[in-house]
Structure 1
Amino acid sequence: MIRADVPLTLPARPADPPAPGFPLIASVAPLAAAGVIWLITGSAFVLIFAVLGPVIALAGMLDARRTGRRTRRANAADQEQALVTLRAEVALRQEELRRLQWRRTPSANSIVAAPHAALRWTGSGSDVSLGSGAVPSGLRLDGGAGLDEHRDLRDWAATLPEAPIVADVGGGIGIVGPLPLGQALGRGLLVQLACSLVPDQVRLSVPENGWDWAAALPYDTGSVCARTVVVCEAPPGGASGKPAPAGSGLIIALAGTLEALPVGCDTIVRMQGPGRAEVLRSGVHAWGTGFRPELITVEQALRVARVLSDRAATAGLVPTSRAVPASVALGELTGFRPGHRVRQGQSRSPSLRCAIGVGESGEVSLDLVGAGPHAVVGGTTGSGKSELLVTWVAAMAAVASPAEVTFLLVDFKGGAAFAPLCALPHCVGLITDLDGHQSARALASLAAELRYRERVLGRAGARDIVHLWGQDSGGMLPRLVIVVDEFATMLTAFPDLHALFIDIAARGRSLGVHLILCTQRPTGVVRDALLANCTLRVSLRVNNRADSVAVLGTDAAAALGADQAGRCLIATDSSGPVLCQVATTSQQEISDLAAAAAGEPRPRRPWLDLLPASLSRVDLLALVASGTAVDEYASDGPIPAPGQDCAAPGIRAKPGALLGLLDEPELQRYRVARYEPMGEGSLLVIGGPRSGKSAALASVVAGFAPVGDADLFGADVEAVWDALVQARRRLDAGGSPVARLLLLDDFDSVHARWDQEHRPAALELLAGLLRDGADGGVRIVVAAQRLTGSLQALPTLCQRRLVLRLADVGEHVAAGGAAALFDDQLPPGGGTWQGHRIQLLAPEQGRAGPDGPGGPGSPGSLGLMKRPDAPTLPDVAALLGLPGQTLLVVSGSPSRTAAALGAVPGARVVDLAAASHDAIAEVAHAGAPLRLSETQSGTAFVGDVDAWQAQWSLLGALRPHADLVFDGCSLADYRAISRRRDLPPPLAPNRGRVWVLRPDGTVHRATLRPPVA
């Protein structure tokens, strides 16, 4: 804030530099020095230096004068810059002072431009602005060389132009001059007083002629109040010097001459013309002060008076023409007659006019079609918004049948307020914030509803819904009223819906779609593009003036009482705000409405129900037959049963596997979901326990059976590895003429059980098959519960992804699913497919699968799967039983292995740790395998890694003719003895598996003992 009494300092005049004197000593010194040198040296040339003294002295004087001029110019420039800065500061302070004074006493013209902004009603102010002119600013400029210096600047700073000429009406204001000019100024003064004095505390007295507009002001003319505003006019030729009217308080007196004014006016002004007046008497302003008066017309004053009256009536400060009841029931309104509506076959009314409450003039009706087509409702907590919406919907249901109007209710406060309305047959749905997924799909269907209505109008050749009703009196397209409670909360949850609602607002009138949007804070929530089409405005009590102005264009709703629930203001394009007490609606009244419409057919819903929790083939057939679900191949015949795809006559093979039912809310339909491996690429199935992964694999296998061979591998570390290796070899050999499908179930479990070297090798094999399999006729389907570590690259390698129920949204997104479709409460078989919600076909009852015997999520149709037979592995004990067979056994537990092999009849087991050195040396020296009789069984040399490394010569002698067996050894042990870097096939744990390295270099699995159960 700028303080007027803070002095400003003028820049001081800089002192001029002294005039330079003649340098006498500097001139004489060279002469004396030259004489002394001449006397010493006797050289006449030295006398030449004597001339330099006067030259230097003259040069010094000239330089001093030049420096002085430069200093004076710099000082003058600094002083001018200081004056410019000072003028800017003075101008800034004057502008701030002017703004503060106009804020204290707004001008009459500013009140006419914005009556709501000037409304104060503090109850104490009687200062008014006569007009604008020059007043003392209070700014002082100190400093300077004298009072006369910068006098113009001092005078300019001390005067504040275009400031309000303030006068106190409490001391009386007399206006002298022509009566029309005096009345114009008096109207401006009275308007200013009306904006500051509380209506129920002031009495108004005005002349009979020329002041009719003042009757619109919210002041009583008969009661006794604390203060009285009196406007009096002296008749032409009347007596002079009359006293002020009795009992007067605030006086505005008009007279043609100074003598005709009442006695006691503290302020007197003379009107010299429409733009010129002067002060004749004032305790504030000097005599003769000229100013430009604030004049307003009767129309301007009347407009302000009406705004103030509406605001005062809303605030309850003045009595209304008719008392508005504190409450009223919907059944008490004459317009509420359940069952009295236009029936089908009769001419339909294009309006939805219905009574919703009582106002000053009786019942208040709303017509969403005629005054809309859309409405905005504002109101703070506890003002009665939900009750207003319930009453409005019930009132419309009372005058229109379900064939004429339907309601979509959106309640983001839990849905309790709208729950009773669901009994009405008009109600096609209730959307709440309690189920985010259902809310999202229902709201997404609204865009499809617009397209549907456009198609209906297009087929009928109708330009709008009224034209359509005129063509078909029975009608097939009722109006749809979308009622949204807490619109701001809905937009917070679904911000993209604002564009959809803007589209509905723009096209809703012709399509028969109407919006009723309710919110606590309309400011900043309902954008201008949407608000422009909401021509019906209703506001209950709001917390601030800005919210009231945003809805009604006036701040009157901010003055509604906090204890008046249901009290509102209604505004349309054709009328100003109308006060109304909204009726309350009971449960019984809603039940009566529902009973009256019980015989009406249920209207079409704008969206389908959620996908069923369980879906059988019979259910899917029924949905397709009824048209609820769309099947791109429905024209080819019904969906065949498993195994019937090619065998049934007249049924062409369907392309791909039948997965289940896909939800497409944006198209208001279901669609049969299929997967064609050879055309769509490899598939990744992600889902938690009992989510339906195995059921999905069963469906894929069943659909692929007519096309090619399908092999399913479960969580078997050996079988999955062998399948990947064989598929890679098949591709490297040029592929297969028959299409092949490789299905890997629980791949993450298999991957976790491989050792650290088999994991990257297996992933490299799988990535190569996913990348190159199409060229060789091979497709891969991978199923897993979780994607961790290196498995996170699988979604990018698979062209199709089926994401079933997962426990974490991060895993859902990492698997390729949309975050908006994540739901950890999905039933078995529920998931995401191609960006939509899917429900897989349930397994057939009576067939067991890995997830459970015939239960939900268990692949009951796994019996159709083709599982490759497990290969029969050779038994090491059987090999040892062959005559002349020699085995070199590297064991992690030599004693255990020796005991197992010693049970073979006739076999000879040599424990390298227990045999004598001479016997081993004899064999090593022979350099050949042992020669045994034909009837004798084989010989096995058993030792751990250290023992074989100690007997390296024996190993070298026997290795070319004997099988090398690794029992309970690690990859490091295998490589230390075999001297090979390639990976042997992985071994399943706890099954007695061993590696057998043949002399020809091939490695295969074998068993040393029966597998552990």
Structure 2
Amino acid sequence: MIPTTAPRRLTLPAFAPPPSRTGFPLMATLAPVAMSLAIWAVTRSPYSLLFAALGPVVALGGLLDGRRQRRRAERRQTAKALASIERLSQRVADTQRAERARLAALAPAPAVLGDPALAMKRWTRESEDAADRDDQLPLPVLLGRATLPAVVDLEGEPEEDEPPPPLARALERLRADAEGLAGAPWVVDARDGVAVLGPERLARAVARSLALQLAAGRSPATTRITAPRDEPWTAGLPHAVTFHDERSYRFECDGNEVAAVGWADDPRELPVAGRLAVQLDLSGERLPVALHGATGEPQYEALGGARAAELAAAVDAMARARGLDAAARSLPELVLLAELPEQSYGEPDGSTLRAALGRDADGAVELDLVRDGPHAIVAGTTGTGKSELLVSWVLAMAGRYPVEAVTFLLVDFKGGAAFAPLAGLPHVVGTVSDLDARRSRRAIESLRAELLRRERLLAEHGARAIDDLDPGVLARLVIVVDEFAAVVSGQPELHEVFADLAGRGRSLGLHLILCTQRPSGVVRDAVLANVTLRLSLRVTDRGDSLAMLGSDAAARLPPEPRGRALIADGSGPTRELQLALADRADAERVCAAWAGAGRATRAAAVWCEPLPTRLPLDSLRPDGAAEGDDPGIPFGRIDLPAEQRQPIARYDPDRDGHLLVLGAAGSGKTSLLATLAAGSNCRVLPADPADAWGALGEMLGPPATEPAPNARTLVLIDDLDALIDRLDPELRHDFVDMIGRIAREARTVAFAATAQRLSGGVQRLAGLFDERILLRQSNRDEHVLAGGDGHSFDPRMPPGAGRWRGADIQVAIGAAALPAPSGPRIPIVRASAAPLAVVAARPREVGRRLESAGIRVVRIGDDPAPDESELRVSRGGGALVLLGDPDAWQAEWALLGLVRRELPVLLLGCTAAELRAVTRVRDVPPPLGNGLDEGWLVDGGSVRRARVEP
């Protein structure tokens, strides 16, 4: 409530009655008696005793005289105090009368609101001095009459506890008069909001009185009113009035709520939440929420509907007499796009992008994205009409400007249906939705390339901005995003893309229209700094409204009708309008208009289409001279949406080094190697561990001929991880070391290997591969371990799709299968050519095979062992084989020592431990194949894989 004036301090008059004698004068009475007795004792005269009676007589006389004097003084003091109290009572009455007059002047009674002198001064000040508007001052309204807090404070008390009765009665009357401000105007501040609680009819009448007072005190030039639908008297006010279904009146100035009045019959249903509440009905169990300083029995100001309509008409007459009409009359509840001013289908004009979006009370509202932008943000909660606004805006611009002047890229992350009516527009360069994440990402990333293209075009024409170009040279591109939060939530890096577009868009003719439910925290400052045009439909959070408009007006828009919005363009106060709603018929009308004019050619897309899931090998033809000069092996295409091109992917072993391809089963690894093999001089490493070991061993040796400069042999290894796993655990480390030595040292070899995952030996070798292609992995964890980004993992990637050098690729298919593996050259040992020592796990079987070929076989332990001279003779050309198992050979230690010096030793079916025990060779033996005729040949201290023949 409006507080009363600070209490005035008044001092009560002092009253000090004259002091009274409290006892009988005993000494004055006894002294003459004592003297009389003394004289009688001396003179014995009876007359002397007469002096004894003199003392009491004199004392009694003095006592009676003092009492008389005290009563006379008390009467004088009482008369003086009563006169002071009378003067003090008059001061109290004057102070209270002035306070009542002050309160009455703050809030005149509704009955006198038709007096022009009461409102025009305030209205004039509001209209002429916008900086001093009422949102900075209290808004007093008269609630009724009641006893308000005291405006005087009495100080001081009489010295006696019980003053004389006349004085006590006067003091009691004075205190009663000063205790409160009885019958005073009960004035409250409507800025706090007033909720009237009580019986429906009475509470409504009191609220009606308060609302009428506010309307009479607020200038119609600056104030809008939202009133209940069942209060028709408000239609007679000169203010802009809209209606809702609530039981409250709300007053707004420049989009800010400045006052609110509502009523209810239950405190739990306060129509103006958290505001001043006044209970009318104190009966029953419900207690008043607050009387806010008023006591006694308040008398409320109440108005009936008919009387309120009469007073509203009087207020309207005053406003019209002074030329103060409403800032905006009632807005329409429905506006159709076809009802707006006819669009003109003219020549390209790159200087403007004007479009009629709806109506306010003064007529059609037109926005120019070039003049008012260059970018716009649209906010609004679900169901308010955001998507309809975007469709209407695009149609309004497309209806006025041809494809040569403006094009549209539509981004819909709410399922893709929002922009369905616009599919036939020739201006639309593409539509992106969340149903295809890869396509949507590439489309937005392609916009960086569009910026570069526009910069190059401006440079070629010597222009600094699109406004300097001739019409038709470069069309403006409007990027319309429905639900911007969904676009950037899963791809935070896109914030930088939109910040770049917002920062450079004005000069390059690129405009953003970003739509979101909650702009707070979604649209970053780097974008907001370049956005001057803001449209807000109804939002549910006050902070979102403040972020958009600088006020909470959007949070107080009614839920109905749909399409009610506020516009802030930085050039003036916030404007309220009803947006136009478009339908498919409007889109068909615009398309038909351009088709009829013979100008329905669709605008070119601003991005490349995604790579096909199947890319034929014969499609890898050079796109130009630059690609044709590349010496690498073509194996696919690279997707570079940010550069708006898809060049051929080429791999050059001499330039690029070793290549590692990682992918799950069925991801296209083998097809990639086959494609490389089709375009190169290659060698395929065998899948058999023994053959692979032998082939690598040959690569470690010196080349047969001096290689040509920059001419490497491409060695293809399919499923390297599986090949390593097939090796004996003791050989895996050495096998990996062999590949590593070749990768580091061999100038004539380049590896192109595939593996399913980066683990074990492959992980040890990964650092030696200069290039890595990452195909589809079995899960996200494997994708990340292989070096991929978790956000780029897609389990639905087709075979041959992957990542290379930070970009997507698609491997071409159609090449023949991998060439046959190139196995090693295995030495042949002919038993018939020279003496040979054979250590066999199954000597009987080996002996029968040799003897059947006519070769002399000496069985160690069974036949006489030849001496040294016999061995020398046999080496000259005899066919002799010394045969035994490992145990038999070790038993003949003397012969074994001779054989080590004189003969080659062939071990068939033996283990590595038996090899070391018999030959004392510590080299790691190579793995063997599955054939029974393969073994280790030890000759000259080295171990080789060999095959024996009779």
TM-score past 0.5 threshold:
yes
- Give the deviation of 1:330 after TM superposition: 3.2
Distance 1:541 1:906 in 2: 105
* 1:191/1:460 CA distance change after superposition, 3 Å: farther
Secondary structure (helix, strand or coil) at the match of 1:1003 reads: strand
Q: Give the 3-state SS of the residue equivalent to 2:604 in structure 1.
A: coil
Aligned to 2:701, what secondary structure does the other structure show? helix
2:825 equivalent in structure 1: 871
Residue deviations 1:115-141 (CA, integer Å, cap 9, x gap): 8899999999999999xx9999xxxxx
User: Does the CA-based 8 Å contact 2:694-2:823 persist in structure 1?
Assistant: no
Matched, 1:685 2:661: yes
* 2:794 matched residue in structure 1: 823
Alignment deviations for residues 164-205 of structure 1 (CA, whole Å, 9 cap, x no partner): xxx99994169xxxxxxxxxxxxxx76646788898673434
Structure 2 counterpart of 1:161: none
Alignment of 1:172-211 (within 5 A): 172=185, 192=191, 202-205=210-213
Partner of 1:341: 345
Among 483, 486, 498, the alignment partner of 2:483 is 486
Q: 1:227 to 1:995 in 2, by over 3 A?
A: closer
The corresponding residue for 2:945 is 1005
Cα distance in 2, alignment partners of residues 542 and 228 from structure 1: 20
Counterpart for residue 574 of structure 1? 571
Q: Would you say the 8 A contact 1:203–1:222 is kept in 2?
A: no
Task: Give the alignment partner of residue 791 of structure 1, picking from 731, 751, 762.
Answer: 762
1:145 is matched with none
Change in Cα spacing, 1:956 to 1:491, as seen in structure 2 (3 Å) is same
What is the count of residue pairs matched by the alignment?
Answer: 699
Distance 1:190 1:116, change over 3 A: closer
1:386 Cα offset (Å):
2.1
1:713 and 2:713 aligned: no
Which residue matches 1:996? 936
**CA separation in 2, counterparts of 1:122 and 1:669?**
71
Query: How far apart are the structure 2 equivalents of 1:191 and 1:731?
Result: 99
Alignment of 1:857-1006 (within 5 A): 868=822, 871=825, 874=828, 879-880=830-831, 882=832, 885-891=835-841, 893=842, 897=846, 901=849, 904-907=852-855, 919=862, 922-923=864-865, 938-939=880-881, 941-943=883-885, 945-988=886-929, 990-992=930-932, 994-1006=934-946
Shift in Å, 1:659 = 3.1
Aligned-pair CA distance for 1:889: 2.5
Q: Distance in 2 between matches of 1:371 and 1:719?
A: 75
Pair 199,532 (structure 1): closer, same or farther in 2 beyond 3 Å: farther
- Kindly state the Cα deviation for residue 547 of structure 1 after the two structures are TM-superposed: 0.7
Q: 2:650 aligns with which of 669, 674, 691?
A: 674
**Mapped partners of 2:796, 2:215: distance in 1:** 78
Aligned pairs (5 A) from 1:510-521: 510-521=507-518
Measure the CA separation in 2 of the matches of 1:496 and 1:369. Answer: 27
Match for residue 725 of structure 2? 752
- Structure 1 residues 787 and 349: CA distance shift in structure 2, 3 A: closer
**Superposed, which structure 2 residues align to 1:759-774 within 5 Å?**
759-773=732-746
- SS of equivalent to 1:202: helix
CA distance in 1, matches of 2:488, 2:569: 25
Q: Determine if contact 1:928/1:958 at 8 Å carries over to the other structure.
A: no
| 8 Å Cα contact 1:568/1:580 also seen in 2 | yes
Assess, with a 3 A threshold, how the Cα gap between structure 1 residues 946 and 663 changes in structure 2: closer, same or farther: same
What is the CA distance between 1:617 and its match in structure 2? 5.5
Q: Which letter does structure 1 place at the counterpart of 2:691?
A: A
CA contact (8 A) 2:408 2:479 kept: yes
- Offset at 1:761? 1.3
Mapping of 1:449-598 within 5 angstroms? 449-468=450-469, 471=470, 473=471, 475-598=472-595
**Is the Cα–Cα contact under 8 Å of residues 126 and 168 in structure 1 kept in the other structure?**
no
- The CA distance in 2 between the partners of 1:872 and 1:125, in whole Å, is 116
Match of 2:626, SS state, is coil
Q: Secondary structure at the match of 1:423?
A: coil
Write out aligned runs for 1:133-152 (5 A). Answer: none
Amino acid at match of 2:353: L
Shift of the alpha carbon at 1:509? Answer: 1.7
Equivalent residue number for residue 337 of structure 2: 330
* Alpha-carbon distance change, 613 to 129 in structure 1, aligned in 2, over 3 angstroms: farther
SS at match of 1:574: coil
Contact 1:408 1:427 in 2 (8 A): yes
Work out the CA distance in 1 between the residues paired with 2:906 and 2:706: 34
Aligned with 2:683: secondary structure?
strand
CA contact (8 A) 2:654 2:710 kept: no
Contact 1:401-1:426 within 8 A present in 2 as well: yes
Paired residues of 1:402 and 1:426 also in contact (CA < 8 A): yes
Q: Check if 1:741 corresponds to 2:745.
A: no
**Against the structure 1 CA distance between its residues 194 and 460, is the aligned structure 2 distance closer, same or farther, given a 3 Å change threshold?**
same
**3-state DSSP class of the match of 1:424?**
coil
* Alignment RMSD: 4.8
The gaps in structure 1 that reach 5 residues or longer are: 1-108, 137-166, 175-188, 230-248, 250-281, 286-318, 626-630, 637-653, 851-861
2:695–2:824 contact (8 Å) kept in structure 1: no
Query: Is 1:389 the counterpart of 2:390 in the alignment?
Result: yes
Contact preservation (8 Å) 2:827, 2:946: yes
Q: Which amino acid aligns with 2:474?
A: L
Looking at structure 2, the residues matched to 602 and 443 of structure 1 have their Cα atoms a distance apart, in angstroms, of 20
Does the 8 Å CA contact 2:143/2:210 hold for their aligned counterparts? no
Q: CA offsets, 1:294-346, max 9 Å, x none?
A: xxxxxxxxxxxxxxxxxxxxxxxxx9965545444434x23466xx522xxx3
TM-score if structure 1 supplies the norm length?
Answer: 0.60
Q: Quote the Cα distance in structure 2 between the aligned partners of 1:927 and 1:120.
A: 133
The TM-score with structure 2 as length reference comes to 0.64
3-state SS of 1:428 partner: strand
CA distance in 2, matches of 1:977, 1:793: 34
Partners of 2:695 and 2:822 within 8 A in 1: no
Rg bigger for which structure?
2
Partner Cα separation in structure 1 for residue 840 and residue 141 of structure 2:
104
**Structure 1 pair 394–963 and aligned structure 2 pair: CA distance change class (3 A):** same
| Distance (Å, rounded) in 2 between the aligned partners of 1:511 and 1:204 | 54
Counterparts of 2:186 and 2:735, CA distance in 1: 102
- Which residue identity does 1:680 align to in structure 2? D
Q: 1:208-232: CA deviations, max 9, x gaps?
A: 9x98679947497898999999xxx
Give the whole-Å Cα distance in 1 for the aligned partners of 2:877 and 2:900: 23
Identical-residue share of aligned pairs (%) = 38
Partner of 2:626: 632
Distance of aligned partners of 1:423 and 1:902 in 2 relative to their CA distance in 1, 3 Å threshold? same
Shift in Å at residue 939 of structure 1? Answer: 4.0
Contact kept in structure 2, 1:203 and 1:221, CA below 8 Å: no
2-side partners of 1:684 and 1:583: how far apart? 59
Q: SS at the partner of 1:730?
A: coil
Give the whole-Å Cα distance in 2 for the aligned partners of 1:120 and 1:949. 118
CA offset at residue 763 of structure 1? 1.6
1:663/1:838 contact within 8 Å kept: yes
Closer, same or farther: CA 935–372 of 1 in aligned 2, 3 Å: closer
Change over 3 Å in CA distance of 1:215–1:933 after alignment to 2: closer
Distance in 2 between the 1:168 and 1:897 partners?
Answer: 132
Following TM superposition, by how much is the alpha carbon of 1:556 offset from its aligned partner in structure 2, in angstroms? 1.5
SS at match of 1:632: helix
Matched position secondary structure for 1:786: coil
Farther off after superposition, 516-525 or 574-583: 574-583
Report the Cα offset of residue 576 of structure 1: 3.0
Q: Which ranges in structure 2 are unaligned for 5 or more consecutive residues?
A: 1-125, 155-179, 197-205, 228-232, 238-245, 251-262, 264-291, 296-325
* 1:634-653 paired onto structure 2 within 5 Å: 634=628
Partner residue in 2 for 1:802: 773
